[in-house]
Amino acid sequence: MAFEILTPDEMAKADRLTIESGLVDGIGLMRRAGQAVAAVILERFPEAAGVAVLAGPGNNGGDGYVIGDELRRAGVDVSLWRAEPPRAGTDAAIAAAECTIKLRSLADFMPQAGWLVVDALFGAGLARALDGVYAETIAKLDTAGSRGVAVDLPSGVSGLSGEVLGSAPRAEVTVTFFRKKPGHLLQPGRAYCGEIVVADIGIRADVLESIGSTLLENNPRNWLHLLPSPALDTHKYARGHVGVFSGGPSATGAARLSALAAARAGAGAVTLLSPANALAVNAAHLTSIILKKTESMDDVVEFMGARKPGALVFGPGLGTHTKVGRFALDLIAAAAGLVGAIVLDADGLTVLAANRDEFFTQARATNAPALVLTPHEGEFRRLFPDLAAKADLSKLDRARQAARMANATVIYKGPDTVIAAPDGRAVINSNGTPLLATAGSGDVLSGICAGLLAQRMPPFEAACAAVWMHAEAASGFGPGLIAEDLPLALLPVIRDLAGGGEEA
């Protein structure tokens, strides 16, 4: 299985390169696409009383004509509906001319009970809101609650951003071709797609070299070769040391969650850096985690020099006082040349928003530690208000621009988490689960990431691995999950990955 993701423009280029290679012409690709969708329908929906194909005016509609004819030849009761014919001389016009099914006006379409509806109206390239008869048709489908199959992408969902442009039908299955598009994985589009089937229509993988896409779907096969594995002669400090900053006596739990997660992710030693007034509280809850009194930047510098931690976690439970923001900036400067990476989360992101320009300057300083930022939507808006305000930017665009702006790896959290690197690489995570919508789960994610970073996993890959492992652990645990369960729930995930990740 391949994990590259192509924008609609990149997919059009893949089609064009394939046609130019002489392996197949445009109508040949269209026939293959239609045949692939028809095969899915015959396999998945044998009980359907009939199939209504809704054909648009472009190539998506051209696929629809082929689908209809393929199903008719298989003995399915098929009706075909359109509002306008394809443009003369196009592949879609050829497909329409070859279609032997009586054409009906889309304005007269009414969903029938027991029938399956095939949405071949527009697909991934749509860049405007549906209106007129198309919007009216979608409303009919919504009212009837029809079962549907979408060709390429439910019509009305942007293939580039996942946004719903006006309205869109919800599909039970979406069949796309060659590679997924961002709109299949970014919300809300992901929720409209149902099950996603990627069909092989004969486009060769070597076209990807010419396209040069830097976007992937998150999967262990992208980073498993970089996942840390302890050597036979290792010791605890050689396996990486993580320092986690704790909040005051009433806000210590978040840091402990991060610390436990870092240890479970493989760090050989984890130290909780605690203010004096929280030492007793932290000591009462810790066993394998080292506890160190840390009252000032001098204490932190002494710790970094003596213990040489590979990564730090700063933010969970620290509060949003101005002094916390000042401490964060001083920490980035003091860590230069001493610490490989800092994970900035929760309150750490909020306090840095007030000193954004200085923060971004510090992030670009000589020998500055690698930074990983883990904002949820609210924190992203506080730290990157200019990007968040641009309605024309997708979540993917915002994450990429934020990573460049902050010179950091950005984990833009949510049901469709996007991880972006300063060099433009990005992944969209697809194994997210609503089980993670629980207090403290983000603190665990920061700890997993720091644990991998401390073992010298590169920042972007460490972030990708942490996000995937975090979600997989939650799904494996199941309903009833709370954040305290997550570090232990990582065990089967880590064991499977250590075995090569065959089940991933």
pLDDT tens readout for residues 60-81: 999 999 999 999 999 999 999 9
Helix (H, G, I), strand (E, B) or coil at 96: helix
pLDDT at residue 145 in the model: 87
What is the rounded CA–CA span in Å between residue 463 and residue 482? Answer: 22
Which tokens belong to 94?
């050829």
Q: List, in sequence order, every residue forming a beta bridge with 313; answer none if it has no partner.
A: 244, 343
User: CA torsion sign, 143 to 131 to 89 to 6?
Assistant: negative
Integer angstrom CA distances of residue 68 from 72, 77, 94: 6, 9, 14
What length is written for the chain? Answer: 504
Q: Can 8-213 and 220-227+237-498 be said to share one CATH topology?
A: no
State the burial class of residue 483 (Cβ atoms within 10 Å of its Cβ: 0-12, 13-18, 19+).
Answer: buried
pLDDT tens-place string over residues 31-44 = 999 999 999 999 99
pLDDT tens-place string over residues 343-388 = 999 999 999 999 999 999 999 999 999 999 999 999 999 999 999 9
Q: 504 falls in which pLDDT band (50, 70, 90)?
A: very low
What is the rounded CA–CA span in Å between residue 464 and residue 377? Answer: 18
pLDDT tens-place string over residues 88-147 = 999 999 999 999 999 999 999 999 999 999 999 999 988 899 999 999 999 999 889 889
> Which sequence spans correspond to the domains of the chain?
8-213, 220-227+237-498
Tell me the Cα Rg of the chain.
26
The residue type at 230: P
From the options 3.40.50.1980, 2.60.40.1180, 3.40.50.12780, 3.40.50.10260, give the CATH code of 8-213. Answer: 3.40.50.10260
pLDDT at 307 over 60: yes
What is the rounded CA–CA span in Å between residue 177 and residue 436? Answer: 31
Q: 503 falls in which pLDDT band (50, 70, 90)?
A: very low
The residue-averaged pLDDT of 307-336 equals: 96
For the domain made up of 220-227+237-498, give the CATH fold. Answer: UDP-N-acetylmuramoyl-L-alanine:D-glutamate ligase (3.40.1190)
Q: Give the contacts of 155 (CB within 8 A, at least 6 positions apart).
A: 56, 60, 119, 121, 122, 123, 126, 130, 134, 138, 168, 169
pLDDT at residue 502 in the model: 47
Torsion angle in degrees (nearest 10) through CA of 195, 217, 18, 30: 10
What is the crossing angle of helices 486-498 and 441-454, to 10°?
40
Q: Roughly how many angstroms between the first and final C-alpha of the chain, as a whole number?
A: 11
Q: 231 falls in which pLDDT band (50, 70, 90)?
A: low
Nearest to 138 by CA among 107, 165, 163, 169: 169
Percentage, residues of the chain above pLDDT 90: 94
Q: To the nearest whole number, what is the mean pLDDT of the chain?
A: 95
| Exposure string over 372-404, b if 16+ CB within 10 A, otherwise e | bbbbbeebbebbbeebbeeeeebbbbbbbbbbe
Q: 485 falls in which pLDDT band (50, 70, 90)?
A: very high
